[in-house]
Amino acid sequence: MPGPYILAFDQGTTSSRALLFDRTGAVVASAQKEFRQIYPHPGWVEHDPREIWSTQAGVAAEALTRAHAGGRDIAAIGITNQRETTIVWDRRTGEPVYNAIVWQDRRTADFCDQLKARGAEALVRERTGLIVDAYFSGSKIRWILDNVPGARALAVAGHLAFGTVDTWLAWHLSAGKLHVTDVSNASRTMLFNIHTLDWDDELLALLDIPRLMLPTVRSSSEVYGHTTTQWLSANVPIAGIAGDQQAALFGQLCLQPGMVKNTYGTGCFMVMNTGGAPQMSGHNLLTTVAWKIGERVDYALEGSIFIGGAVVQWLRDGLGIIRHSRDVEALATTVPDAGGVVLVPAFAGLGAPHWQPRARGTLFGVTRGTTSAHIARAALDSIAFQTLDVLRAMEADAGLHVSELRVDGGAAANDLLMQWQADLLGSDVVRPNVIETTALGAAYLAGLAVGYWPDLAALQDQWQLQRRFVRQLPHEAVDAAVKSWQRAIRAAKAWAED
């Protein structure tokens, strides 16, 4: 029998987390550590790749200690990660040639505009399911090759490796033996053909990126290799990899076409399982690979919101109106509503379905009577409004009404936000017992690969309802609020375009 636990790495945008799961899908132990956010210029966001690894390794050791467990107690490791974040390192030394360029980073927006002007958008959309945008990894790799002295020559010589964060972690876990990614992460690079499930030579030529840099693309659930004994004192299988949003979809057991989840993390990401064929969006959503298990490939539609829970961090770190992120709900509930204040948190541009990279955060409706509580309420409201925009686009693409939205992520624990979300959508918002579904999805994928769970059917009964939120506000009140939001969005776009 495999060991009693699965260890999940959940490497996020602002923190590294490790969770141990048992066969019931319950969290046995966990640990978390935040790491630095580096802002060299306005619109630029970086991480130190060494800090990503050190914090991730540290929290894994901490979680094992809390469970009184060791490497031999781990049946497998699953990795889930912030996607699109780009790391390039020297294969010979393992040292990064530049900081990790984070998915939120907008430095390549002008280059992406040049690609659009050259007519590349149709090719990119058809091959990758994505739009041309600075969000994705491809233009970030290009920037490193063009701006780090000597990088391009090293890449052409085969000395540089590119990876998203999953690849970087697998490299370290295996002491440099593994240079791999899975189909879900590869599909977020703007370099991967989602039809052939391989890197696309025409796109690599378009961005002038040597294929030698790229990792081998594998399925989302298989044994890629093993850890080295110096790290866990055991050769533990590394057996599951999925980008964080695909992992959350899997952890929510949205295994049938038409099932939808929304993860409320640093950003918000809504994903709908569309089954075994890619469905192209007519409403500015992304088509992506959900996962590959054995020979089965599932695809998804996704709407990406750049600033979700990060708006609460801004209230804490930027404005100083709360001491801890968890304090926002108590502050916001001291007022009945936002008092006419509308916040568009476009701190890193607007994502789906608007895709305005130059938009910036804007606050409307402020009066002398506006308090910190109104701003806190408007910040929470903004998360729900952005989710509404994405869900309506998704319903239009799919040609169906989404009656139930499964939710997870840290902000899904906020009852005020979840109730407002149900009021806006007119759909049930359903929160499971385990809202750590991103890590759970990675654990499921790893566990399936090593026989810890025998098959998908064995997982189905593990999803348990914690609370269902249904609409309480009358349509008139909701419609008025939505009109104010739409007006604010139009104004934010006008500001960016003028």
Considering the domain boundaries, does residue 124 fall inside one? yes
* CATH number of the structural domain spanning residue 79: 3.30.420.40
CB 217 within 8 A of CB 181: yes
- State the pLDDT at residue 92: 94
- State the pLDDT at residue 119: 92
The kind and range of the H/E element at 287 are: strand 286-293
Q: Is 496 exposed, middle or buried (0-12, 13-18, 19+ CB in 10 A)?
A: middle
Considering the domain boundaries, does residue 472 fall inside one? no
pLDDT (tens digit per residue) in 157-168 = 999 999 999 999
Q: State the Cα–Cα distance between residues 112 and 138, nearest whole angstrom.
A: 10
- State the pLDDT at residue 391: 93
- State the pLDDT at residue 1: 54
Q: What is the mean pLDDT of the chain?
A: 92
Give the residue ranges of DSSP H helices in 132-289.
137-147, 151-156, 165-173, 183-186, 201-207, 229-232, 244-251
Q: Which of the four pLDDT bands, split at 50, 70 and 90, describes residue 403?
A: confident
Residue environment code for 107-136, b if the CB has 16+ CB neighbours within 10 A, otherwise e:
bbbebbeebeeeebbebbbebbbbbbbbbb
Q: Which residues are annotated as a binding site?
A: 13-15, 17, 83-84, 135, 244-245, 266, 309, 313, 410, 414
Q: Which of the four pLDDT bands, split at 50, 70 and 90, describes residue 498?
A: low
Name beta bridge partners: 16.
11, 33
pLDDT (tens digit per residue) in 6-35 = 999 999 988 999 999 999 999 999 999 999
Tokens 């000597």 correspond to what residue?
Answer: 150
Considering the domain boundaries, does residue 422 fall inside one? no
Q: In percent, how much of the chain has pLDDT > 70?
A: 99
Question: How many domains is the chain partitioned into structurally?
Answer: 1
Considering the domain boundaries, does residue 115 fall inside one? yes
Considering the domain boundaries, does residue 255 fall inside one? no
Considering the domain boundaries, does residue 273 fall inside one? no
Name beta bridge partners: 363.
343
Question: What's the distance, CA 250 to chain centroid?
Answer: 13
CB 294 within 8 A of CB 40: no
Q: Which residues are annotated as a binding site for ADP?
A: 13, 17, 266, 309, 410, 414
Q: Which residues are annotated as a binding site for sn-glycerol 3-phosphate?
A: 13, 83-84, 135, 244
Q: Model-level pTM?
A: 0.88
Q: Which residues are annotated as a binding site for ATP?
A: 13-15, 266, 309, 313, 410
Q: 45: domain range?
A: 5-245
Q: State the Cα–Cα distance between residues 277 and 413, nearest whole angstrom.
A: 33
- State the pLDDT at residue 384: 95
Mean pLDDT score, 54-79: 93
Considering the domain boundaries, does residue 224 fall inside one? yes
pLDDT (tens digit per residue) in 100-150 = 999 989 899 999 999 999 999 999 999 999 999 898 999 999 999 999 999
Q: Which of the four pLDDT bands, split at 50, 70 and 90, describes residue 309?
A: confident
pLDDT at 231 over 80: no
Q: Which of the four pLDDT bands, split at 50, 70 and 90, describes residue 61?
A: very high
Considering the domain boundaries, does residue 252 fall inside one? no
Question: Max Cα separation, the chain?
Answer: 66
Mean pLDDT score, 423-438: 90
Q: Which of the four pLDDT bands, split at 50, 70 and 90, describes residue 386?
A: very high
CB 310 within 8 A of CB 39: no
Name which of 445, 442, 435, 420 is nearest 465 in CA terms.
Answer: 435
